[in-house]
Structure 1
Amino acid sequence: MLTEQDSAVPDWWRALGLPGLVDLHVHFLPERMERRVWHHFAHGGPLMGRGWRIEYAWPVAERVARLRELGLLAFPALAYAHRPDMAADLNDWTLGFARRTPGCVPSATFYPEPGAEEYVRRALEDGARIFKVHLQVGGFDPNAPGLEAIWGLLAEAGVPVVVHASAVPVPGGHLGPGPIGGVLRRHPRLRVVIAHLGMPDYDAFFELAGRYERVALDTTMALTDFSELGMPFPRRLLPVLRDLGIAGKIVLGSDFPTIPHPYAHQLHALDRLDLGDDWLRAVCWSNGLAMI
């Protein structure tokens, strides 16, 4: 079983016969925005609850180097807008970061505002292969009329959209399976990746993944010691988790760098489930690779 030391990670994935790892939930942000986000994580607040100490509050170059040491061959720089007039600039930054960072998957975001469809279309033309929206931080309804054309555009393009739709760290107005489920009823081909395995609403989000062909979930912070304290994963769902993983619907996510534990612990949390090497290979490599 994998230890919780980052240095052990490459030997672990090599023993599985993998060439490395694919993590679809990694964050890099413009420096000023990143400092503000880290302050919220460190000190807590209305969107964070009690907050936590960030394990990898390091300079950018050191964080990129650590991902390479861990063996991540593909990861995005997920950014998300929490107010109008920032998404387009964030997209320019994340796409530029991907161009100058080997292994970084070009990513983009959007917000319900005038001109959003145009900058989403432009991001796709500029190579965006994954999108991120955070319904809790953004505080918006995914069913807002201004987003309808965007959901249709992304469904047609087939690019994954990592959606923070669950009530973590704290509940909000447009969270839970209902709002994003409404989007999926109108756009059943949309490739949504529900962040954090949907915790704490595991059952309802697993049901969405079972109902819609292109809906998946990422493992971000789920099953770790930190999350198990307050939002334990129901053991009765382990067979469903296994089946969804083998079916290509569970992907590795970590929330690096804003995590309260070593990166290896996220992998250790998956390893100790004893769902089999085929499941680990699918979740940590092939499922994510197939989406991007």
Structure 2
Amino acid sequence: MIDSQVPGFWAGLGLPGLADVHTHFLPARMERRVWAHFDEAGPLIGRNWPIHYRDPAETRVKTLQDLGVRMFSALAYAHRPEMAESLNEWTLDFASRTPGCLRSATFFPEPSAAAYVADALTRGAQIFKLHLQVGAFDPRDPLLSGVWDLLSSTGHPIVVHAGSGPVARGFTGPGPIGDVLARFPRLAVVIAHAGAPEYTGFFDLASRYDRVCLDTTMAFTDFFEEMAPFPVGLRPRLRDLGLAGKVLLGSDFPTIPYPYAHQLEALERLDLGDDWLKAVCWTNAHNLIATTPHG
């Protein structure tokens, strides 16, 4: 599949488009630094990772629109103290002027976290992002207790890179975030990359907790299969979770080393059926966001 065939893919399923919960738009300075880290195949990357969509933000928004991505995100993530609040200002403003973009926010373990998360919610934040691998912080940090308590009560989804791929670091793996969920079982956590490479442990969390989901970001693609192959034995569980509303389309656009279409091709070749594809590519994310308070 190539990008020009993507509209035909979702139209053939009878969908109005695609809902992608895991895309990135960042402030220009931060974006340059992130892209440079990918270019250098830095220590958190571990391999050559050419960025396929290295275009200005306006061009990338149009690319998503042309592909038929009707819902997407601007997932920024704080990796040190005193940066989350300014990132939230940027991402919330970006969404306010970008049709189809979810109002995204982030947080970091610091004394002000609960206050600025509450402010982001007041301003209409719809989805949050944490990156435990890059941030190298413990999600069980007491400084986050107020945030977890708040988001547990509101039901706002938090996309969490908790898996140890592509390189294990800090507090990744199902254990740390699993401990958070044991304390706050109503959290709506979306496990990025389907939890690669600890797929089984994260599938167990998705099965155990009502509001825990997985996103497909880069999972099942040739690129990920080379370093974290998805166990064939988990396919029945993947199908069941998807049909139960617990698997959401994610892509990591624009920082992917292949065309957007390849993520969809990778999902299609799992051969889990059209109902599963429809749920994953549109219905599950649409329902999750539609049932979440928006300010």
Question: TM-score, normalised to structure 2's length?
Answer: 0.97
Q: Mind listing any 5+ residue stretches in structure 1 that lack a counterpart? A: none
In the alignment, the residues of structure 1 paired with residue 287 and residue 120 of structure 2 have an alpha-carbon distance, to the nearest angstrom, of 20
1:121 aligned to 2:121?
A: no
SS at match of 1:291: helix
CA distance in 1, matches of 2:238, 2:138: 28
Equivalences for 1:136-215 in 2 at 5 Å? 136-215=133-212
**How far 1:114 moved relative to its partner?**
1.8
**Aligned letter for 1:239?**
P
Matched, 1:33 2:30: yes
**For residues 208 and 201 of structure 2, what CA distance do their matches in structure 1 show?**
11
Q: Deviations over 1:240-289 (max 9, x none)?
A: 00000000000000000000000000000000111000000000000011
User: Is the Cα contact below 8 Å between 1:26 and 1:76 reproduced in 2?
Assistant: yes
5+ unaligned residues in a row in structure 2: which ranges? 290-295
Residue-by-residue CA offset, 1:224-252 (whole Å, 9 max, x unaligned): 00000111000111000000000000000
CA contact (8 A) 1:18 1:285 kept: yes
- 8 Å contact from structure 1 (residues 40, 51) kept in 2: no
2:7 aligned with 1:10: yes
Structural mapping, 1:26-65, within 5 Å: 26-65=23-62
Q: Alignment partner of 2:156: what SS? A: coil
Q: Which runs of 4+ in 1 moved over 3 A?
A: none
2:273 is matched with: 276
Quote how far apart the aligned CAs of 1:51 are: 3.7
Partner Cα separation in structure 2 for residue 172 and residue 122 of structure 1: 30
Give CA-to-partner distance per residue, 1:127-174, whole Å, 9 cap, x none: 000000000111100000000110110011111000000101111120
Alignment partner, residue 238 of structure 1: 235
Query: 1:95 Cα deviation (Å)?
Result: 0.1
Counterpart of 1:206, as a letter, is F
- Partners of 2:163 and 2:237 lie apart in 1 by 19
Cα distance, 1:82 vs. partner?
A: 0.5
Structure 1, residues 66-100: CA drift from partner, whole Å, max 9, x if none? 00000011111000001111000000000000000
Distance 1:82 1:51, change over 3 A: farther
Q: Helix, strand or coil: the match of 2:72? A: strand
Q: Deviation per CA, 1:27-66: give whole Å up to 9, x if none.
A: 0000010000000011112211124100001111110000
1:17 partner SS = coil
> Which residue does the alignment assign to 1:20?
17
Residues of 1 paired with 2:49 and 2:173: CA distance? 23
Question: TM-score scaled by structure 1?
Answer: 0.98
Amino acid at match of 2:28: E
Equivalent pairs, count: 289
Q: CA deviation at 1:23?
A: 0.2
- Aligned equivalent of 1:131, options 111, 121, 128: 128
Q: Is the 8 A contact 1:221 1:266 kept in 2?
A: yes
Structure 1 counterpart of 2:84, one-letter code: A
Cα distance in 1, alignment partners of residues 66 and 282 from structure 2? 16
The counterpart of 1:82, out of the listed 79, 84, 100, is 79
Percent of pairs with identical residues: 64
Whole-Å separation in 2 of the counterparts to 1:132 and 1:111: 10
Structure 1 position 219 matched with structure 2 position 209: no
Give the distance between the partners of 1:186 and 1:282, measured in 2 at CA. Answer: 29
